[in-house]
Amino acid sequence: MNEAAIGIFDSGMGGLTVMRALLDRLPNENFVYLGDTARLPYGTKSGETVLRYARQAADALIERDVKLLVIACNTASAYALGALQIAIPSIPVVGVIEPGAEAACAAAPNGRIAVIATEGTVNGGAYLRAIRQRNPRASIIQKACPLFVPMAEEGLTDGGIAAAVTQHYLAPLKSAAPDCLVLGCTHFPVLKNTIRDVIGSEIAIVDSAATTARAVKATLESKSLARNGLAPGERKFLVTDALERFVRVGQVFLDAAIDPAAVELIDLH
């Protein structure tokens, strides 16, 4: 079991920002990443549909004998974490929202927290619940920023258009003077510089990738599932469509080249 890979899934390539943090923290682990590129975005779909897609993605990774499952997608974590933990009792299932909420509470001494995410994540209220569990007196303001997803994939991460859209979304949040801003979507970390310019230097920016990687490492250790030895791990990728685009655009999110030979096209059902 220790040699088995860690499975990661996302609606597309945004979850590669979470994989980046996992690779940095766990360089000797084997990873298999599934991007459901045929059905992206999840963030505008109903909770029922996101749950169905998430179950199919999880099944595909379980078939490949993963030892731990990371739901790298915030929207899928919001709608499917509990259901997948119940459906797959044999391995740990880790989402990105709980670690994100943990990091947000640590970065908000006055309990004033702003969350930006997809429409699905905002409407599902998972960040509200996860933050309130840790700090019942927290004052939380949320804002859906759907345009950030295609902008990140287009490479529109800085310059005039990026600044104008960011200003449009973040102006109402800024006036609430939060202690921290949670990037509650896989795609948003690549817009971090523009978000920082617009939101100002006093507000901490929290991204769940690093805290999720910490949670995964702690889980591997507590369950004695860590890979033995120091040999570098293998990285494999599964996509449901547009393999060439995944290789090309995915490197922006992974911050490293993706070997096309390591990417396989699959169907989910």
User: DSSP letter string over 42-54?
Assistant: -TTS-HHHHHHHH
Closest approach, Cβ 207 to ligand DGL, in A, equals 11
Nearer to ligand DGL, 14 or 99 (CB): 14
Nearer to ligand DGL, 5 or 57 (CB): 57
- Give CA–CA dist 139/136, Å, rounded: 9
Contact (Cβ atoms closer than 8 angstroms) between residue 26 and residue 213: yes
In DSSP terms, 70 is beta-bridged to: 8, 94
Closest approach, Cβ 245 to ligand DGL, in A, equals 15
Q: Is 73 part of the annotated catalytic residue set? A: yes
Binding-site ranges for ligand DGL (CB under 6 A) = 10-12, 14, 40-43, 73-75, 118, 121, 149, 185-187
Nearer to ligand DGL, 44 or 135 (CB): 44
Percent of the chain as helix, strand, coil, to the nearest 5:
50, 15, 35
Which of 105, 145, 180, 185 is labelled catalytic? 185
Closest approach, Cβ 93 to ligand DGL, in A, equals 16
Residue whose C-beta lies closest to ligand DGL: 43
Nearer to ligand DGL, 12 or 250 (CB): 12
DSSP-based three-state secondary structure for 246: helix
Of 89, 109, 78, 68, the closest CA to residue 213 belongs to 68
Which of 73, 105, 145, 180 is labelled catalytic? 73
Closest approach, Cβ 116 to ligand DGL, in A, equals 11
Residue 143 gets the label, from left (phi > 0), alpha (psi -120 to 50) or beta, of beta
In DSSP terms, 33 is beta-bridged to: 8, 237
Known catalytic residues are 73, 185
